[in-house]
Structure 1
Amino acid sequence: MKVSVIVPVYNLEHYVGPCLEGLVRQKTSFDFEVIVANDCSTDASLSVINSYLTAYPYIIKVIEQRENKGLAANMLKLLSSATGEYIAYVDGDDMALPGKLQLQADYLDNNPDCSMVYHESEVFDSQSGNITGHYVADYYNHKYIPDKADITHLIRYGSFFQASSLMLRNHPNTDKTVDAKCKIILDQPFQILNAGYLGGSIGRIDKILGQYRIHPDSFGAKTLKDYARREQVLRDQLQAISHGADFYIEQSCIEQGQAHYYLATAMYFLKLGEISLFNKYISLSAQTDWRFDKRHEYLVENRSDVEGCLRVLS
């Protein structure tokens, strides 16, 4: 088996059909499997999944959890079931565009120095159907990311590619790449841990090969409604980059990643007018002498000038 596509699903009855449709229609020169793990959904997700199993029994494999295990346990089950030389991860509410699997597998075949490869993804609003941006090109740290990155870029600059755009080489330590200590963010520790165990570089394909769906129950939409959730996201991100020490990444790189995430959280709350939370996290970001960029330096030195800080972000 060349490629195993792993798809975790929980209560995605309106989205999992288009997700699976994009995968079963992939044209490849090799065999691939699509493994779908339904985490005891309470909606009609399993019915939709089973309809694809009936239509494409030679591609679709279904894991049905009898009780809700949570995303971390569901991911581990998927990884243990993947038999492919390469593993592609796709969230059950995202979509694969034509050519995705072939181009990513070809890239890994042709670049033995790369352990992982990602592609550009369109961001689209599920309710309007409008394309609102591009995940990689619009990433605020895009200018710092080379064509072939590595684990230090993930630690210092954050997750610069969309979760469903990743394909990686299968390896014996996949059971150690899911961090159950993270409550919300599992993609970044997954990326960092795989990069650490595999070594090598992280390649980029600039072609748009996937769509990232924004909907009322998506990660971003939920976070905007809940400040405590955003703070938990930060804790998850800090936990993720702490794994750099497991792979002998310099402590200075990890500290820079910490400062960066405190800065990003401070800017998030500044934009929302939550000044006390802005002050809390911009102060934490200033605990080292390192400054991410001139904007970071300005916010640290002029944190009492809220209007001036807002102008820097505009």
Structure 2
Amino acid sequence: MNATEVTRKLPKVSICVITYNQEKYIRQCLQSIVDQETDFDFEVIVGDDCSTDGTRAIIEEFAERYAQKVIPIFRQSNTGGLKNYLETHNAATGCYVAHMDGDDFALPGKLQMQAGILDSDSTCTAVWHRVDYFDDTGGFCSGETADLSIFNEGKVSFSEAIRLGFIGVHSSLMYRRSAREKVSLDKKVLDLYLTWDLLSKGSGYVVNEILGRYRIAASGSLTVSSLPRIRRLSIDHADHFLKKFPEQRKSYFIWAISNAVIDFKNARLTAIDFIIFALRNISLVRPGEIFTNLLNIQRTQVRWSRGNNSEKVR
């Protein structure tokens, strides 16, 4: 054990940064975190998945300059985004853990506000916030365009999280470390899995303020070709949680039908997968409940504009 390890205080918050070949972005990301003003100690754990560009050198620079804060984890070989994510989060020592992708960045006040909410409500396990959306070409969309009024006083229940499937972008999440399931490193999970896991153990909260920026279609990000695999994996997650919480059958049925409608509208073959899941778990619901859920999903989206074209993003 070296002197740095002996003198470093146990932090209240751990910020886990996941990166791979993000030389263009990682400096802005890390600077936005170390510049946060808080009345508590925090650590920044940076998991680099064996980058082949200049990402590692920038991380080393920050680790040297902020030796009491920044803790690098350099993979000796490329393990893949999921394993890098899980191992980095498993290394967190703070009571609360925030996630940040290496191509996104935080705005002032983020850590203090989210930690304050978790401090004030012991039943709250996860906190998200609004983000602005932007891209490398100068495109920008304000996070204010998402309608979050569906969340009563900002609170989110497990059943609401099931029906919506999406609460906030992952780089806006801070959660209570004691509430997170220790997922096996060989298990394939999405952000959705963590959302459902955390809210099955308590309530969630969405901060009605923009406290971060989320980069759309960054270099190295997931592509449209990954969407079918992601959609089917979300159904696997639904199967898993429905077995644990059979009382949520109605909510999962509404989630499946809503996603089937969305996929049919977008001509995605995965609509059939959602229909099959819904038929296996059929539940009596009023048509109005499906319509309301679809409307709520639409309301929480923001509209991203590029020239004369626009699309909804979540």
Per the shorter chain, which TM-score range? Answer: 0.7 to 0.9
What is the rounded CA distance, in whole Å, between the counterparts of 2:278 and 2:204 in structure 1? Answer: 30
Give the superposition deviation at 1:101: 0.3
Contact 1:157 1:257 in 2 (8 A): yes
Match of 2:298 in 1: none
1:1-314 equivalence runs, <5 A: 1-128=11-138, 130-134=139-143, 137-138=145-146, 142=148, 144-146=150-152, 147-171=154-178, 173-176=180-183, 180-182=187-189, 186-196=190-200, 199-217=201-219, 219=221, 222-223=223-224, 226=225, 229-245=226-242, 246-269=244-267, 277=269, 287=279, 290=285, 291=287, 292-293=290-291
- What is the deviation of 1:279? 7.7
Deviations 1:232-289 (A, max 9, x none): 12112212333332244422222221222222222233xxxx7xx4985796698556
Q: Tell me the secondary structure at the aligned position of residue 134 of structure 2.
A: strand
In the alignment of these two chains, the number of paired residues is 279
- CA separation of 1:283 and 1:175: change in aligned 2, threshold 3 A: closer
Alpha-carbon distance between aligned partners in 1 of 2:16 and 2:155, rounded to the nearest angstrom: 24
Give how far 1:10 is off: 1.3
Pick which of 90-99 and 49-58 moved more: 49-58
- Structure 1 gap ranges (5+): 298-312
TM-score, structure 2 as length reference = 0.79
Q: C-alpha distance in 2, partners of 1:172/1:279? A: 32
In the alignment, the residues of structure 1 paired with residue 155 and residue 87 of structure 2 have an alpha-carbon distance, to the nearest angstrom, of 30
Q: Encode CA deviations 1:15-62: one digit per residue, 9 max, x unaligned.
A: 111110100100000000000011112222111111111211111000
What is the CA distance between 1:216 and its match in structure 2?
Answer: 4.4
Report the aligned-residue RMSD: 2.9
| TM-score, with structure 1 as normaliser | 0.79
User: What is the percentage of aligned positions where both structures have the same residue?
Assistant: 30
Higher RCO structure (Cα 8 Å, ≥6 apart): 2
Corresponding residue of 1:307: none
Is this contact kept in 2: 1:35–1:61, CA < 8 A? yes
Question: SS at the partner of 2:167?
Answer: coil
- Helix, strand or coil at the partner of 1:171: helix
Instruction: Answer yes or no: is the 8 Å Cα contact 1:263–1:282 preserved in 2.
Output: no
Q: CA deviation at 1:174?
A: 3.7
| Structure 1 residues 63-83: Cα deviation after superposition (integer angstroms, max 9, x where no partner) | 111111112211221122111
- The answer as to whether partners of 1:260 and 1:285 remain within 8 angstroms in 2 is no
- Structure 2 CA distance, aligned partners of 1:105 and 1:243? 30
Contact 1:115–1:169 (CA under 8 A) maintained in structure 2? yes
1:185-234 C-alpha deviation (Å, 9 max, x unpaired): x21112112222xx2210121111000011343656x21xx3xx222121
Q: For 1:5 and 1:102, how far apart are their aligned partners in 2?
A: 12
CA distance in 1, matches of 2:173, 2:107: 14
- Rate the CA distance shift 1:83–1:131 in 2: closer, same or farther, 3 A: same
Deviations 1:63-122 (A, max 9, x none): 111111112211221122111011111111111000000011111111222111111111
Q: Is the 8 A contact 1:192 1:241 kept in 2?
A: no
Q: Which residue of 2 aligns with 1:300?
A: none
Q: Which runs of 5+ in 2 are unaligned?
A: 1-10, 296-310
Determine the C-alpha separation between the residues in 2 that align with 1:177 and 1:153: 26
Q: Secondary structure at the match of 1:89?
A: strand
